[in-house]
Structure 1
Amino acid sequence: MSKERFTAAPKRGSEKTVTARGSPGLNEMHTTNVSKTPIQLLHEFGTKTNNSPVYTLEKAEGQPHNPSFTFRVTIGEISCSGDGPSKKIAKHKAAESALNVLRGDATLNLPMTEPIKQDVSKPPAKQAQENPIGSLQELAVQKGWRLPEYFVSQEAGPAHKREFTLSCRVESFVETGSGTSKKVAKKIAAEKLLAKLRSIPTENLNSSVKKEIVNNAGCTWDNLKKSSGEKINLLKKSPLSIPNTDYVKMLTEVAEEQGIRVSYLDIGELSANGQFQCLAELSTNPVTVCHGTGLICGNAHNDAAHNALQYLKIMAGKK
């Protein structure tokens, strides 16, 4: 009597695909359970390969009503990032990107059918948020104005909790923004200035810009030499060597009298001897740019203003 061989049927829900070599891999996660998120799937893969994923918060910026987070996940030699309006969504997208890299072959069809849900207590983010920095630049180009200029006007707070204040200028219009990073402050300043420009009637806006252009165009070295202004004549006689002088204020007074616009641009890198660096730009014709350094940002501004005054004094006194 022949013996028949029977094979027990696998229990329902226990099916899984094993890699050809018998080692754990992404194919092992191609199960009938299709309700897992990318974070869970990546965690399972990391557990089976003894290489757990590590998540790192890279950025947290934006306004309170419209935050933006960036997470980076590292698993083995693979590192991917994800952005989102919440930390959960950013981690979800980072894990999803890592899984896409690990899958490699799209035919593996790794299940990711449970979408991440946004917090219903918060209004959903707009599908296409306006980029105020780009929009402001486009507006300047359309109007034929000079491109927007940004400069750090203040840095405060301890090293682990810095507060930056940036100024944004387009022609004679200026707005400031503050944030925990220069990028956030820059965006807020651009957003405020863009809103301000859009609120001004076109005729008034064009008239104001034209008036400033005419004033600046007339600020030449020849005009400075011939100027009878009180401030410029005092500058010609000043030794510019008195200790503790507020040269920023002095330069502002001379500039206002002569119709010159002054802006300060902080340089991100320290000087060779570890001091802060700054550029003072004067809207003369041609433009004047002077460098300054100092132990703190304010000292660098004062030094740049001092150098700018020395230059104006020499040019205004030339015969």
Structure 2
Amino acid sequence: METPITMITQAPLVHNSHPRKKPGRTTIHAMLSERLSLGEAAKLEMRSLHTKTPVSVLQELLSRRGITPKYELVQIEGAIHEPVFRYRVFLSNEFVATGTGRSKKEAKHAAAKNLLELLVGNQTPEQANSTNGTSANTSTIDVTNQVVSPYDDKVMGNPIGWLQEMCMSRRWPPPSYEMIHEEGLPHERQFTIACEVLKHRELGMGKSKKLAKRMAAHKMWQALQDMPMEGSNLPQGFEDDEELSAKVQNRYTALKDSKIQTLTSTHSCKVSQFHKNLKQSTGEKLNELQNVNLNIKDFNFVEFLQEIAAEQEFEVTYVDVEEKSISGKCQCLVQLSTLPVAVCYGSGTTSKDAQANAAHNALEYLKIMTKK
């Protein structure tokens, strides 16, 4: 009987490095890319286009410089069963490109490819913003006007969204917008809108409210771009987490230890009777309140409230709050010496504006309570 022979083969040597990773190349490539100008680095990165998508190449190029390209779907055209998508990629006012494709993915890659070509100088801005780098024919809408600058304000991208993101990332209150002025003929209107972030204020003008708002947001975004976030350079009104936490803790402790009186049946009857009497109240000024538009510009709320108070025989007292609101505005409370006492809140740029706003809110309260 023959003894079976067992074949012993030597196992192949296994290297510790990851089989998919090319040792050293990625790190050296990245270091070299960072030292080059953006155009030269783009040329270097574009060598890998045969193995990577244009979106990936552009992302790797810009991420090393702390830049994030912004993509935006700007148009869908063509038949329902054969749509053509148009994407725009925005880097700065100088570097913008568009691309089209049968799918969103294809259009996005085309836009990224055109931006890379623009960065290395192979295309002009006009070519990078025509249909995939070719000149638009007579049947194609002018891309430069309709896609790259869809608004007449010549402001690229989405400044309103960018400003919102900036405030969120810096843990600031969101920006507030206020209609300031409107003038011109019906077909030639000019709007002015103010944008406020903390104590900063910028004005934007445009042929529509949307354009004016975009311009105001754009100006504010540019003004806050280079603002440092550290130490004493923080805008006044901003509190760090520790300071804010300490204030909240102190207020909570004081509130927890305080004894708040509950509404007894006697008090409840008084409140109910007050509302009933208010409904039944009559008077020339009180009747006028039901018909007046309280949103009219330049309406004197303080004076009108005082006239109603004199007619209905109650006193009006304004209490200015020393602390400013989180958005940096003056604050005020107005007290109506009715039974029970009614208190309304108001805020504004100045103490006088805050009082007017409080009086406005008090009039709105009385209008609701005296409605027959």
**Which bin holds the TM-score, normalised by the shorter protein?**
0.3 to 0.5
TM-score by length of 2: 0.30
TM-score by length of 1: 0.34
Structure ranking higher on relative contact order (CA contacts 8 Å, 6+ apart): 1
